[in-house]
Structure 1
């Protein structure tokens, strides 16, 4: 964990100087830290020249003893300022690692009838919430703007191939012309509840009165035929016996 934090907050600023005779050289500052130590160093062509010793609280030369004497700049103010900055950065990194942002996917909601709709024929409305993560979702039903709880069910959660979830909620109902139903889904990935509306309109097929009457007439004619047949059989037997 410490090595990762050091890498995240490690800062390197570089520049280049040179001439046609000597070529180019790279210099800069290395500012790094982890949970227990800090580094504030000046480098030249990849070699550390001076650094700040946070224990001794002084700037120290890293040049070998046989090197030419050089003026050592005082890095005290800059090094201590970096120490405070590093503490703030580490706090931010720690919070991000310990509490990573939650992955959220908002549901897509659809509302439809289970079977072909006919007036005054029992049916079910299906409210499908799909492609959301994580669970749960909350589903509310209304009929004509009034909350409905009777006849409502919520099925199990199904996992999709992409790792998201889907769930079905159903409402048993008997369609009447002009009724308006709604399904509302709540999920923490949504900015607000998502609602779908379903209305029983004039295009819904109504059971045919003519078909019902015709069925009754046919049934009556059938019964009459049976009765007539029985009467003829009885009369035939009576004639034979006489």
Structure 2
């Protein structure tokens, strides 16, 4: 898969402020996908929904407002430039092979699990390249992916890989088992994480390796907890 990325970074110093902020803009296209978004200090603040033909703010309700006038129209022009570059590089660089980085994932509930109380399951997927994967949700072996919501792919500035978050609303019932399955070009087999409601109700088992499966990712998840909170609070999805 050929991919074209146009990355724009900027240091922002607001008037009357002493804190330096880091802004990022990403234009991404392939033969089948296109994406454009802006972020500040590691948080996504705005992206283009090319299906709905409009820009979408992803800041939480209490965040400072940002204005992007006519940005959907401008994004179409940026995508044309991206596609022209992609076609050129594809024709003139046929021998190159994109590096592959396999994703890691974890699944956990947004709030403490209580039977009959509405909640959300978070499937956090990180460290993958290229930014294209397939996520499938199941409840008791029944596909419920259509009920899930997804963020756009977000770049990791440290190593150039990408992250994505998917959220599934659910009402825990005893015996229910949920799964988040990830397919990616760098994986030999799908990566599946399981959330067992019965196990989650047990405060001892809930913190065991069997529940989280990817317990080695916990340290990394702490570093992105603020971003996940912003994402859920903003309740704006791709």
TM-score in terms of structure 2 length: 0.44
Greater radius of gyration (CA):
1
TM-score with structure 1 setting the length: 0.43
Higher relative contact order, chain-length normalized (CA < 8 Å, sep 6+):
2
